[in-house]
A and B are shown apart, each in its own frame.
Chain A
Amino acid sequence: MGYLLKQQTFVLRSSLSHLLLGTFIFFLCYFVFLSLRFWINKSAIDVRTSDGWGYIALFIYGLTIALAYSMTFTGLETRVKVIGFLMTPCNPIEKYLSRVIIATVTGFVGILLTYFLADGVRMLLDWAIVGKQVHSTIPGFFNALGDFAEGLTDTRDFPATISALALWVYSLTFFILCSSVFRTKAFIKGIGLYNLFVIIGLIIVGTILFLVVGNYDDGDVGDREDFFNATMVAVSVILWLFSALNVWWSYRNFKQSTIL
Chain B
Amino acid sequence: MINIQNIDFTYKKGKKKVYTDFSAHIEAGGIYGLLGRNGTGKSTLLYIICGLLHPQKGACTLDGIDTSARMAETLKDIFLVPEEFELPATSMRRYVEINKPFYPNFSEELLDYCLSAFDLDRTVQLGELSMGMKKKAFISFALATNTRVLLMDEPTNGLDIPSKSQFRKALASAASEERAIVISTHQVKDVEQLLDQFIIIESDGLLVQSSAADITEKFRFDMHDLSYADDNELYSRPSFSGKETISLNTSGEDTPINLDLLFTALIEKPELAKYLNNEK
- Within 8 Å of chain B (Cβ to Cβ): is A205? no
In A1-35, the 8 Å CB interface with B consists of: 3-4, 6-7, 10-11
Chain A residues, CB < 8 A from B101: 3
Cβ contact within 8 Å between A80 and B72: no
Among residues of A, the one whose C-beta sits closest to the C-beta of B76 is A89
Cβ contact within 8 Å between B85 and A88: no
Interface residues of B (CB under 8 A from A): 11-12, 47, 50-54, 69-72, 75-76, 78-80, 82, 84-86, 88, 90, 98-99, 101-103
- Listed from nearest, the 7 A-B pairs whose CB atoms lie closest are A89-B75, A89-B76, A3-B101, A89-B102, A259-B52, A91-B72, A7-B98
Among residues of A, the one whose C-beta sits closest to the C-beta of B74 is A89
Q: Which of B47, B53, B72, B80 has the most CB of A within 10 A?
A: B72
Chain A residues, CB < 8 A from B85: 80, 83-84
- Within 8 Å of chain B (Cβ to Cβ): is A92? yes
- Summed over the interface, the residue pairs from A and B with CB atoms below 8 Å come to a total of 61
The SS class assigned to the B binding surface is loop
Cβ contact within 8 Å between B52 and A258: yes
Cβ contact within 8 Å between B86 and A84: yes
Cβ contact within 8 Å between B98 and A260: no
Picked from A3, A7, A86, A94, the residue with its CB within 8 Å of the CB of B52 is A86
Cβ contact within 8 Å between A260 and B99: no
Cβ contact within 8 Å between B103 and A89: yes
Chain A residues, CB < 8 A from B72: 89-91, 94
Cβ contact within 8 Å between A91 and B71: yes
Chain B residues, CB < 8 A from A91: 71-72
Cβ contact within 8 Å between B98 and A6: yes
Report how far A10 CA is from B12 CA in the complex, Å.
33
Report how far A241 CA is from B233 CA in the complex, Å.
73
